[in-house]
């Protein structure tokens, strides 16, 4: 019945006793052929398909193509669902569930007879959650993304996911657009299966996976509905079987070099700030020393080569037709560690050898970048002792060095109540400060850091101001926005002590974020400070608040750092 095999799945399916009977017999109720239990690699297809996660709703069909590849290579494919979180639907913020999703992945992988896994992900948080969970088990692993939607088209114009929503909302409010037209725009923006086709967090994290070598080339780019996406899924299914036979575990792919390459590529694509917390959390699961300092050291001077919304003009379809991420990485090769191993079995440089750029307007050459600095800059100072981040390519050059008077909002409800008050004492030189929007404070660190400017200043034509918070912001947003301030205000970080009228100094080049208030005065304020009442006293919200680490540690749970490997748990009968 059983070939000689060291695969962990044989401890379920390979024993000639009652335990093997339990495992095989009940599986056979699905019509599975007997030879599937002969010791061949069992490949989990970890699926975040859900109709409430619209960017991943097509992944059920994509899984069939993965299965085809697994079968062709002589493996036994078994698809299973995990929790899925849809960015535009989930409240209070999809981020609060990233760690819960990762726990689902980790526990399901370890508790079942899998020898390798294909991760099917798409929407923002699903990709990091699956990578984090899989990392803590460390089976051979391949990421297959759902792929971006087709470009939005509305009234003869390109429409990028998320980018035009605010503008259309304003036009609806002022009567420039009817409700019927507004609803037409909704349909035009999201007109096919797939994830956001701007360089939001979904495209960023798919690109990070490919840059780390955890996905086949072109994983980030092929449109969701392009038949080549199905081929990539099938090829991934074939490849994972070989990886199991060759024992290429995830930790052999996601190394320090792979993470460093991801930082460089994030700069080259003008990627989302969210990649900072996700990759730090992933590194933590693998025991790799990787921190904000690595982002600062490697990322901040990388030129942005990609002319893609929100930094530029084009969308993911054009990026693919121009040669995709491989073409861009080939241009960035002088900054990359080309000898990093990838899931193809070849090195990154070997994968890139045949890559070609077909449109230098979309993918710029190194000597003609879209922006000289595409990466993420890290800020430190007495306002952010454990760091904060800013995306210089999304900021206004004239505000990168700025000293201004703080206008403080204690929470998002406070912000919403007062930001448009005509009597609010604010001008464009002020610094907007938002508290209680961090991992513990909101909780879940939502994407509210790019606060809308006061209406009276918008009417004056002001389009950017320095904004500081412990929140995140969407990959599709921009502005001179300081994010991820750590420690956050809700745990008593210095952000909690800022008061209206304090002077704040930002110097992006110097990496400095300074609150111009004496240490003595801050000590007095700290002594009078009381922690806000927690938002949850039970359930997952309570677990989150009690265990979550700060942004500089990736917002993972302290108890989830590291891994427990792929050891086979004790039998239940
Ligand atoms: Fe799902 Fe953008 S909302 S990818
Ligand atoms: Mg997003």
327-355, pLDDT tens digit by residue?
999 999 999 999 999 999 999 999 999 99
Averaged pLDDT for residues 133-144? 98
| CA 191 vs CA 161, 177, 225: distances in Å | 10, 20, 11
Segment 39-50 shows an average pLDDT of 98
Q: What is the pLDDT of residues 75-89, one digit of tens each?
A: 999 999 999 999 999
Number of the ligand 1 atom closest to the C-alpha atom of 56: 1
pLDDT value, residue 476:
79
Residue pair 374/267 in contact by the 8 Å Cβ criterion:
yes
Question: Could you list which residues have their CB under 5 Å from ion ligand 2?
Answer: 124, 200-201, 474
- 361 to 3, 161, 222, 308: CA distances (angstroms): 55, 21, 19, 10
CA 567 / ligand 2 centre spacing (Å): 35
Mutate to test the pocket of ligand 1, among 52, 58, 87, 310 (most ligand atoms within 8 A of CB): 87
The answer to whether the beta carbons of residues 467 and 432 sit under 8 Å apart is: yes
Separation of 197 CA from ligand 1 center, angstroms? 9
Q: What is the model's pLDDT at position 323?
A: 98
Q: Which residues pair with 286 in a beta bridge?
A: none
Quick one: tokens of 14?
């390979």
- Among 144, 139, 131, 270, which residue's Cα sits nearest to residue 199? 270
Q: What percent of the chain has pLDDT over 70?
A: 99
Q: How far is the CA of 94 from the centre of ligand 2 (A)?
A: 9
Q: Is 202 in the pocket of ligand 1 (CB under 6 A)?
A: yes
**What pLDDT shows up at residue 1?**
42
Q: How far is the CA of 189 from the centre of ligand 2 (A)?
A: 15
The total number of residues written for the chain in this structure: 573
b vs e for 152-173, b when ≥16 Cβ sit within 10 Å of the residue's Cβ? bebeeebbbbbbbbeebeebbe
For ligand 1, atom 3, the nearest C-alpha belongs to: 87
How many C-beta neighbours within 10 Å does residue 191 have? 16
CA 84–ligand 2 middle distance (angstroms): 15
The per-residue pLDDT of the chain, averaged, comes to 96
pLDDT of residue 2: 43
pLDDT tens profile 280-290: 999 999 999 99
- Reported as a pLDDT band with limits 50, 70 and 90, residue 441 is very high
Mean pLDDT throughout 448-473?
94
Span 194-221, average pLDDT: 97
State the Cα–Cα distance between residues 48 and 84, nearest whole angstrom.
Answer: 5
Spell out the domains of the chain, with CATH numbers in brackets.
41-150+192-352 (3.40.50.2300), 154-191 (no CATH), 378-533 (3.50.30.80)
State the distance from the centre of ligand 1 to the C-alpha of 195, rounded, in angstroms.
Answer: 5
pLDDT for position 374: 87
pLDDT digits (tens, 9 = 90+) for 475-525: 878 799 999 999 999 999 999 999 999 999 999 999 999 999 999 999 999
Residue 44 has pLDDT above 80, yes or no: yes
Q: How high is the pLDDT of residue 162?
A: 84
Ligand 2 centroid distance, CA of 545 (Å): 22
ipTM of the complex: 0.92
Protein residue whose Cα sits closest to atom 2 of ligand 1: 196
Spell out where 343-485 has E strands. 377-381, 384-390, 401-409, 431-434, 466-469, 481-482
pLDDT of residue 5: 61
To test the ligand 1 pocket, which listed residue (164, 200, 204) has its Cβ within 8 A of the most ligand atoms? 200
88 lines ligand 1 (CB under 6 A): yes
Q: Report CA 498 to chain centroid distance, whole Å.
A: 30
With b for 16 or more beta-carbon neighbours within 10 A and e for fewer, the 138-148 pattern comes to bbbbbbbbbbb
Locate the ligand 1 atom nearest the alpha carbon of residue 200 and give its number: 2
Is ligand 1 within 6 A of the CB of residue 447? Answer: no
* Residue nearest to ligand 1 atom 1, measured at CA: 123
193 Cβ below 6 A of ligand 1: no
Q: Which ligand has the nearest atom to the CA of 274?
A: 2
Question: What separation in Å is there between the alpha carbon of 162 and the centre of ligand 2?
Answer: 8
Residue 258's Cα: distance from chain center in Å? 16
Distance 87 CA to ligand 1 centre (A): 6
How many other C-beta atoms are found inside a 10 Å radius of the C-beta of residue 355? 18
Q: Which of 51, 85, 195 to mutate to test ligand 1, by most ligand atoms within 8 A of the CB atom? A: 195
Ligand 2 center from residue 200 Cα (angstroms)? 5
Q: How confident is the model at residue 232 (pLDDT cuts 50, 70, 90)?
A: very high
For residue 54, the ligand 1 atom closest to its alpha carbon is 1
Q: Whose CA is closest to 378, among 247, 461, 280, 284? A: 280
Q: Does the structure show a pLDDT above 60 at 145?
A: yes
| DSSP codes joined into one string, 365-392 | -TTS-SBS--S-EEEEETTEEEEEEE-G
87 CB within 6 A, ligand 1: yes
Judge if the beta carbon of residue 190 lies within 6 A of ligand 1. Answer: no
Q: What are 393-415's pLDDT values in tens digits? A: 889 999 999 999 999 999 999 99
Distances in whole angstroms, Cα of residue 331 to Cα of each of 212, 357, 395: 16, 9, 25
pLDDT score, position 3: 45
Q: What is the pLDDT of residues 149-187, one digit of tens each?
A: 999 999 999 999 887 787 788 788 888 999 999 999 999
Ligand 1 test: best mutation among 196, 271, 315, 474, most atoms within 8 Å of CB? Answer: 196
Q: How far is the CA of 88 from the centre of ligand 1 (A)?
A: 7
pTM of whole model > 0.90? yes
């Amino acid at each position: 019945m059983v070939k000689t095999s060291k695969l962990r799945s044989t401890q379920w399916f390979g024993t000639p006793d009652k335990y093997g009977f339990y495992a095989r017999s009940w599986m056979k109720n699905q019509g599975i052929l007997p030879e599937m239990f002969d010791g061949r690699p069992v490949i989990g297809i970890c699926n975040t398909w859900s109709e409430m996660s619209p960017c991943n709703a097509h992944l059920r069909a994509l899984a069939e193509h993965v299965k085809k590849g697994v079968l062709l290579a002589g493996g036994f494919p078994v698809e299973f669902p995990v929790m899925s979180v849809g960015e535009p639907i989930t409240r209070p913020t999809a981020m609060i569930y990233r760690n819960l999703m990762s726990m689902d992945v980790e526990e399901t992988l370890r508790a079942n007879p899998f020898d390798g896994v294909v991760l099917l992900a798409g929407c923002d948080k699903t990709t990091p959650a699956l990578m984090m969970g899989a990392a803590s088990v460390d089976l051979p692993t391949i990421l297959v993304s759902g792929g971006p939607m087709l470009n939005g088209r509305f009234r003869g114009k390109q429409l990028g996911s998320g980018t035009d929503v605010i503008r259309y909302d304003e036009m609806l409010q002022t009567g420039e657009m009817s409700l019927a037209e507004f609803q037409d725009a909704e349909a035009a923006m999201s007109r096919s299966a797939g994830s956001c086709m701007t360089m939001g967090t979904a495209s960023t994290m798919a690109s990070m996976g490919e840059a780390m070598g955890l996905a086949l080339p072109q994983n980030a780019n092929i449109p969701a509905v392009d038949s080549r996406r199905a081929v990539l899924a099938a090829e991934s299914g074939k490849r994972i079987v070989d990886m199991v036979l060759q024992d290429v575990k995830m930790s052999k792919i996601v190394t320090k070099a792979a993470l460093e390459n991801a930082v460089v590529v994030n700069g080259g694509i003008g990627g989302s700030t969210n990649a900072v917390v996700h990759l730090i959390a992933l590194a933590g699961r693998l025991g790799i020393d990787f921190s904000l300092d690595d982002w600062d050291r490697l990322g901040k001077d990388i030129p942005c080569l990609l002319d893609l919304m929100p930094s530029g003009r084009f969308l993911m379809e054009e990026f693919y037709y121009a040669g995709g991420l491989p073409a861009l990485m080939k241009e960035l090769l002088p900054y990359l560690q080309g000898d990093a191993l990838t899931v193809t079995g070849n090195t990154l440089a070997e994968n890139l050898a045949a890559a070609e750029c077909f449109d230098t307007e979309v993918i710029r050459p190194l000597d003609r970048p879209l922006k000289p600095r595409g990466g993420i800059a890290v800020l430190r100072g007495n306002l952010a002792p454990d760091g904060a981040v800013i995306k210089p390519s999304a900021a206004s050059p004239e505000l990168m060095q700025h000293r201004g008077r703080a206008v403080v909002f204690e929470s998002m409800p406070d912000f919403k109540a007062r930001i448009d008050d005509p009597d609010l004492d604010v001008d464009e030189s002020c610094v907007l400060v938002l508290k209680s929007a961090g991992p513990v404070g909101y909780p879940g660190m939502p994407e509210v850091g790019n606060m809308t400017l006061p209406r009276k200043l918008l009417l004056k034509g002001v389009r950017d101001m320095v904004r500081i918070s412990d929140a995140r912001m969407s990959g599709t947003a921009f502005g001179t926005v300081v994010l991820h301030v750590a420690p956050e205000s809700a745990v008593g970080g210095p952000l909690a002590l800022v008061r209206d009228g304090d002077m704040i100094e930002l110097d992006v080049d110097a990496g400095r974020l300074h609150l111009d208030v004496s240490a003595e005065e801050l000590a007095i304020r700290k002594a009078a400070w009381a922690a806000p009442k927690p938002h949850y006293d039970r359930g997952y919200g309570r677990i989150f608040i009690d265990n979550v680490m700060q942004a500089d540690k990736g917002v993972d749970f302290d108890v989830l750092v590291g891994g427990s490997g792929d050891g086979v748990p004790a039998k239940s009968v």
